[in-house]
Amino acid sequence: MPAWSLLFDDFIGQYVVGPHYGIEEVDDYLIEKIAHKDSLPLLWTSEDGLYELRDLEWDKTPSIGLFFSDSGRSAQVGFYIQGMAWVEESHRGKGLGVQMIKVAAELMNGSPVGSSDLMGFSEAGEAAHRRAHREIVLDAYEKGLPIPQGVADEYNLKLDPHQIAKSEMFTLATTLRNFFEPHWEDWRLEKAAWMGNSYREKLNLSEIPISHNMCRLTCASAATILASKDIIAIVKGGEPVLDYQLDGSAICTSSGGMETATGEWRGHYWLEIPLLSLILDITGDQFGWEPVIVTDTSDPRYAANFTNPEISEALMYVEMTSEKWAGQWQEEVDIDVRDAHKTTPFS
């Protein structure tokens, strides 16, 4: 779950505080030799261009190096490795430790620590993590993201009714995502067994998001599940309109579906909840976004251009599996789900 949706205790994990946990000296092995610095993935650059954060690509995740460059010379002056943070003394007081924690949280899409072990922090280390968490939450609040009520309460943030509804829907959407993931995997394994090696090789299952091509099937089933909770969710979808050239190339002439994180448009299905003016999307990570998205219907990343008859026909092809999954939700997650498969998931 994204860092802004976590309480501070979940953000930092199990920990104790004591002066003996501070880093007094740094072993040489913790400082990367910088000859290959530019080949390391860049994660962040300071506004003045003097500091960079790069992924050290260690086995321990996250492993982030802080580099300082001036007058053509570079040096590693800090790191953040699984909750252990250090900044060279002459570079302290600039918020660089906090920045490393924030970048680590984004990299991990959740807790920056990357370990479930009991951690030990100095008072300064705990304070840096708390400041990083606060800044992450405040930034999400300003962007209108669905911050849970408990997280908002930690920093005395007031949520309006729309924000509360968005927060509650995010919690439900996260539960839905957790439910569907193993069913996506099982569905793919069954299809691979049926279609053989050609399917495995074409899809390259090890290198794609688990949600790849799961949007239509998931929306159909999720709409049924939500209907059982008296939440009307309408399946929406679209695809870019392409104009094919004489040389066989295609030009996108009209937006449709979802805009990817790299600025391209792809065919996609999602859910809209009219009563709340919200979009619910739990397969957007296949396009470089978060695994769980709850956003306003005005979000420019979405452009619906499928008609209701087109959606109705598309859902017919996934009806059997979508109803099967809705029934398994009742058995595995929600004992109060009623026979809602007769509710039409669009209008």
Mark whether 213 and 126 lie in a shared domain: no
Mark whether 181 and 68 lie in a shared domain: no
Mark whether 14 and 148 lie in a shared domain: yes
User: pLDDT tens for residues 303-315?
Assistant: 999 999 999 999 9
CA 177/CA 221 separation, integer angstroms: 12
Distances from the Cα of 168 to the Cα of 46, 117, 234, angstroms? 35, 30, 18
Mark whether 268 and 180 lie in a shared domain: yes
Q: Pick the last residue of a domain from 97, 123, 154.
A: 154
Mark whether 89 and 185 lie in a shared domain: no
Q: Pick the last residue of a domain from 105, 121, 154.
A: 154
Percent of the chain topping pLDDT 90: 63
For residue 342, tell me if it sits in a domain.
Answer: no
Mark whether 227 and 257 lie in a shared domain: yes
CA 67/CA 76 separation, integer angstroms: 4
pTM of the prediction? 0.77
Residue 200 pLDDT grade (very low, low, confident, very high; cuts 50, 70, 90)? low
Mark whether 135 and 282 lie in a shared domain: no
Mark whether 121 and 101 lie in a shared domain: yes
CA 80/CA 88 separation, integer angstroms: 12
Closest by alpha carbon to 5, among 157, 133, 161, 175? 133
| 288 backbone dihedrals φ, ψ, rounded to 5° | 95, 5
Mark whether 192 and 46 lie in a shared domain: no
For residue 344, tell me if it sits in a domain.
Answer: no
Residue 250's pLDDT is what? Answer: 63
Mark whether 121 and 262 lie in a shared domain: no
CA 224/CA 329 separation, integer angstroms: 10
CA 115/CA 111 separation, integer angstroms: 9
CA 123/CA 138 separation, integer angstroms: 22
What is the overall mean pLDDT for the chain?
86
Percent of the chain topping pLDDT 70: 84
Mark whether 180 and 139 lie in a shared domain: no
Q: Pick the last residue of a domain from 102, 125, 154.
A: 154
Q: Which domain holds residue 75?
A: 3-154
Mark whether 46 and 121 lie in a shared domain: yes
Give the number of domains in the chain.
Answer: 2
User: pLDDT tens for residues 110-121?
Assistant: 999 988 888 888
Greatest Cα pair distance in the chain: 71
